[in-house]
Structures are given as C-alpha cells and as structure tokens.
Homo-oligomer: A and B are copies of this chain.
Amino acid sequence: MSILADTPKPPYYAVIFTSIRTAGDNGYSETAHRMLELAEQQPGYLGVESAREDIGITVSYWTDLESIKNWKADAEHLEAQKTGRQLWYESFKVRISKVERDYGI
C-alpha cells in the first residue's frame, strides 16, 4: 500500500478508521492483510490508504453507503471486527464520511 488511492470524481464515500493497537500481534497482521484482500473484492470498493505510527489510520473509499453497509456485514469481516474489539484494539473510531471535493498533484 505505497500509493495514493486513485478515486473518481466526487461525490463518493470515505470510511476513516483510526485505532490504537494492544501489545503483541495475536494474529492481527494476517487478518489485516486478508481483510484488505477481501475489501478489494466488494462491490462499490474504490481504494484504500493506510499508515501506522503511534496510531493507525486506514481510509477506505466506496461508491455509496450501501456498499459500506454490505462490507460491514460480510461474515468473515464480522468475525474480524469481533476479534478487533476483544483483542487487537485498545481503542478505535470509525467515521463514515461523504467526500464532497478533492484536489492534489
């Protein structure tokens, strides 16, 4: 994930997931990798950007709210969310937002 997401002209949606991890891997890395792989296959998926330092930030981009809802309800993803709450994250926040404008170089 070393490049910026090539998203279309707005509007589209961004899911901003920020987190603080607990100590130890505990299977996190493998699942995180698998979730990125799975997300890419979902209808409405537009791209992802991710970085971790003191905190982790993963922003995934989607065509619409329905696609975000469906991805949240994916069975394998639900299992990962459960383990995330119980084991991997000390705290996290998910923000669903609508991208209204963008620019860059």
Contacts and interface: CB of A to CB of B under 8 A. Distances in A.
A97 B94 contact: no
A87 interface: no
A29 interface: no
Interface residues of A, number: 39
A20 B49 CA distance: 11
Interface string A1-19: 1111101001000101011
A79 to B, nearest CB: 17
Contacts of A10: 95
11 contacts: A2-B55, A4-B19, A4-B55, A5-B18, A14-B14, A14-B97, A18-B59, A59-B59, A95-B101, A96-B102, A98-B100
- Nearest first, the 9 A-B pairs at minimum CB distance are A93-B104, A2-B54, A97-B97, A51-B53, A51-B51, A97-B99, A95-B102, A96-B101, A57-B57
